[in-house]
């Protein structure tokens, strides 16, 4: 029911606010933080944006890492670009997403009662430090 309500609101031009249950976007979005998502047409999106997409009954907020104009997503009209998304804490990308599956763009994260810009310099620095630490940890594990 919640995915249908979120989809309906965004398709009708209204922003939504809801809690993100997962950890796939850590540290940018932490488990159970509230997201504010505004409607966004796929043409308005840029690499690095955090995009809300829907596949069946599942709604996911992941970072846009690539726009592929040559590959068609399953069920997408020919010649339409597909969007490649990945969670900040994930090692692999999600399956390609068609333009009609894009619902909106995350514009704010509510953390401890304050609104945080998910695209701000501080947030980006923390995200990159986490990614560096994760790669270092992986290399140390494989060395021993």
d(CA 144, CA 141): 6
Is the confidence at residue 66, as pLDDT, over 70? yes
Burial group, residue 100, by CB count within 10 angstroms (0-12, 13-18, 19+): middle
Binned at pLDDT 50, 70 and 90, residue 142 comes out as confident
E strand spans, the chain: 16-19, 34-39, 50-55, 58-68, 82-86, 97-98, 102-111, 114-116
CB 83 within 8 A of CB 96: yes
- pLDDT tens-digit series, residues 81-135: 899 999 999 989 999 999 999 999 999 999 999 999 999 999 999 999 998 998 8
Binned at pLDDT 50, 70 and 90, residue 65 comes out as very high
Q: What is the pLDDT of residue 121?
A: 94
d(CA 47, CA 60): 17
- pLDDT tens-digit series, residues 26-38: 999 999 999 999 9
Work out the average pLDDT over 20-31.
94
Residue percentage of the chain with pLDDT more than 70: 94
Handedness of CA 110, 15, 19, 118 (dihedral sign): negative
Structural domains of the chain in order of their starting residue, each with its CATH number: 2-143 (2.10.109.10)
Helix (H, G, I), strand (E, B) or coil at 124: helix
Burial group, residue 124, by CB count within 10 angstroms (0-12, 13-18, 19+): middle
Q: What is the pLDDT of residue 13?
A: 96
Structure-block tokens of residue 4: 């249908």
CB 79 within 8 A of CB 41: no
Binned at pLDDT 50, 70 and 90, residue 78 comes out as low
Work out the average pLDDT over 62-66.
97
d(CA 9, CA 21): 20
């Amino acid at each position: 029911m919640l995915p249908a309500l979120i989809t309906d609101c965004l398709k009708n031009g209204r922003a939504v606010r809801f809690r993100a249950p997962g950890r796939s976007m850590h540290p940018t979005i932490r488990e159970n933080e509230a997201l504010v998502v505004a409607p966004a047409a796929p043409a308005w999106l840029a690499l690095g944006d955090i995009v809300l997409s829907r596949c069946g009954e599942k709604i996911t907020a992941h970072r846009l890492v690539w726009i592929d104009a040559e590959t068609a997503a399953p069920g997408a009209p020919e010649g339409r670009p597909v969007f490649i998304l990945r969670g900040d804490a994930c090692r692999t990308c999600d399956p390609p997403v068609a333009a009609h599956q894009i619902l909106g763009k995350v514009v704010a994260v509510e953390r401890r009662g304050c609104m945080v810009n998910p695209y701000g310099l501080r947030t980006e620095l923390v995200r990159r430090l986490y990614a560096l630490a994760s790669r270092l940890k992986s290399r140390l594990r494989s060395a021993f």
